[in-house]
Amino acid sequence: MFLLLEKGYSQVETSDNSTDKADEKSANLTSPNKDFEKRTKIKPIAESENDVEIRFYVYNLLTRTSQLKILSLKDGNWKGTLYNELNHPIRRIRKFKLKSKNGFEELYKSLLQNNLTKLPSQDELKQRMRKVTVTEGWEVEHKFSVTDGQSYTVEYKISGNSRIFAFYNPKPYAEFYSDVQELKDYVKIKSLFETELKKK
């Protein structure tokens, strides 16, 4: 549903893993996926024993179910895992192995290139998500809101550093607020997880 309003007025690279203000704001490691962690019996991201672990959660509000894709590296070996939750006729979670179309290491590099370790949560971008035009001397702000019932969470641990950030509906927001690079990065990260990781 769209709403448009107008109103007047294999070597682990860690060089991209620097801490800045955006990192600090999103460094809260309280996962919105705690219940799912319990159901799948996986540890919180900060307690991961992998050298690299990146989790991509998709939460469906309508069905109240989650899907989780994990990219992990331990002792030089990459692995992809999918947890797919269903709630009809009963709630259950199935686990699958994943393969990467262009290789796990290439996927990891692409995620870093799209600022995975530097992105804030989308709510932190609200002050910059503004579209203003001037009509006959009046400043008009165009506001945009969209929902498709899905939200996304990225949780990662890389070289001992852990972060969690969340976003939603990245593509339409990135198109409307085209000057906000972080929204474009969300789109790319979402696309990489959706297209590069497939069930074996």
- What pLDDT score does 20 carry? 43
Instruction: Using the predicted structure, report yes or no on whether residue 28 has a pLDDT greater than 70.
Output: no
Answer whether residue 22 is part of any domain.
no
Answer whether residue 182 is part of any domain.
yes
Give the total number of structural domains in the chain.
Answer: 1
| DSSP for 110-122, written as a single string | HHHHTTTTTPPPG
Name, in order, each residue with C-beta under 8 angstroms of 76's C-beta and a sequence gap of 6 or more.
10
The sheet carrying 138-146 orders its strands as: 2-8, 138-146, 131-135
Domain that holds residue 148: 2-16+33-199
pTM for the whole thing? 0.83
- What pLDDT score does 5 carry? 35
pLDDT tens digits along 139-168: 888 887 887 789 999 999 999 899 999 999
- Window from 9-18, 92-101, 155-164 with minimum mean pLDDT: 9-18
